[in-house]
């Protein structure tokens, strides 16, 4: 029974991996990777790594892949050429992959590890449970655990810095619309911090009807100025 599940999951994982490399549309590539990850979670379950399998499905196939899908939908790329046009890499890279596969198979299967041809260590009841993993994380591997959390923090800040909207990169359409809206002073919005003077907001506050011409004329010079100095 476990052999049948193993072969189904292994074929699913390999087919998903091939799909990532071979499909033209990046959207379908991401979906193939989701299939691959779920098959891999089944393999983890066969290896009695329950917690890793659950984390794989929830974190990887759930959260990370949704992030990918958002970016693919944002960039909105159509089908693309699969290979680089006319490169030598087109022929060489599958051969390189095949060579690495053969070499690694020889290296892995030719080792003197006796456990490779066994079904693994004898059954231990608590193996791979969240309790055991949590204990290992908080006692023996506390330093890697803390370093991983620090790395996550750094990556989150880095992603915000990289992907934030810079002044001067856009054509200014959104900025104009933000500045033209009437709102009370000191509401703490991005438009307020982006250089609209408080006096203008006070002026605008008295006029309850929206007058885009007047507000656009009074604050129109500032986004134009700041748009010139923006950059990468």
Ordered alpha helix ranges (H), 65-170: 65-75, 89-109, 130-138, 142-163
Burial of 2 (0-12, 13-18, 19+ CB in 10 A): exposed
Contact between 73 and other proteins by CB under 8 A: the answer reads: no
Contact between 18 and other proteins by CB under 8 A: the answer reads: yes
Contact between 68 and other proteins by CB under 8 A: the answer reads: yes
CB nearer to other proteins: pick between 94 and 216: 94
C-alpha–C-alpha distance, residues 172 and 191, integer Å: 12
Contact between 98 and other proteins by CB under 8 A: the answer reads: yes
Contact track, other proteins, 156-195, x by CB under 8 A: x-xxxxxx-xx--xx-------------------------
The answer to whether 28 and 41 have CB atoms below 8 angstroms apart is no
C-alpha–C-alpha distance, residues 156 and 160, integer Å: 6
CB nearer to other proteins: pick between 124 and 217: 124
> Which of 83, 177, 181, 202 touches other proteins (CB under 8 A)?
83
Contact track, other proteins, 140-159, x by CB under 8 A: -x--xx--x--xx-xxx-xx
Closest CA to 165 of 87, 227, 78, 73: 227
Structure tokens at 109: 């299967």
Closest CA to 39 of 5, 10, 68, 17: 10
The CB-of-172 to other proteins minimum distance in angstroms stands at 14
The CB-of-225 to other proteins minimum distance in angstroms stands at 21
Contact between 75 and other proteins by CB under 8 A: the answer reads: yes
Identify residues 19-48 at the interface with other proteins (CB under 8 A).
20-21, 26, 29-30, 33, 36-37, 40, 43-44, 46-48
Sequence-ordered list of residues with C-beta below 8 angstroms from that of 184, at least 6 positions apart, any chain? 201, 205
């Amino acid at each position: 029974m476990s052999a049948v599940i193993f072969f189904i999951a292994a074929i699913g994982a390999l087919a998903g991996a091939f799909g990532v490399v071979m499909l033209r549309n990046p959207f379908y590539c991401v979906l193939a990777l989701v299939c691959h990850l779920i098959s891999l979670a089944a393999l983890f379950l066969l290896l009695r790594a329950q917690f890793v399998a659950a984390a794989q499905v929830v974190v990887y196939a759930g959260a990370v892949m949704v992030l990918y899908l958002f970016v693919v939908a944002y960039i909105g790329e159509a089908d693309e050429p699969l290979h680089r046009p006319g490169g030598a890499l087109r022929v060489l890279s599958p051969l390189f992959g095949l060579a690495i596969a053969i070499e690694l198979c020889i290296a892995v299967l030719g080792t003197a590890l006796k456990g490779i041809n066994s079904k693994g260590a004898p059954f231990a009841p608590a193996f791979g449970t969240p309790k055991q993993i949590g204990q290992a994380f908080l006692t023996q591997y506390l330093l890697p655990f803390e370093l991983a959390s620090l790395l996550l923090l750094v990556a989150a800040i880095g992603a915000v810095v990289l992907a934030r909207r810079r002044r001067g990169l856009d054509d200014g359409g959104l900025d104009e619309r933000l500045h033209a809206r009437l709102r009370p002073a000191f509401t703490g919005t991005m438009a307020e911090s982006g250089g609209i003077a408080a006096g203008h907001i006070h002026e605008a506050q008295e006029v309850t009807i929206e007058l885009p011409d007047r507000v656009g004329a009074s604050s129109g010079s500032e986004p134009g100025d700041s748009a010139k100095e923006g950059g990468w």
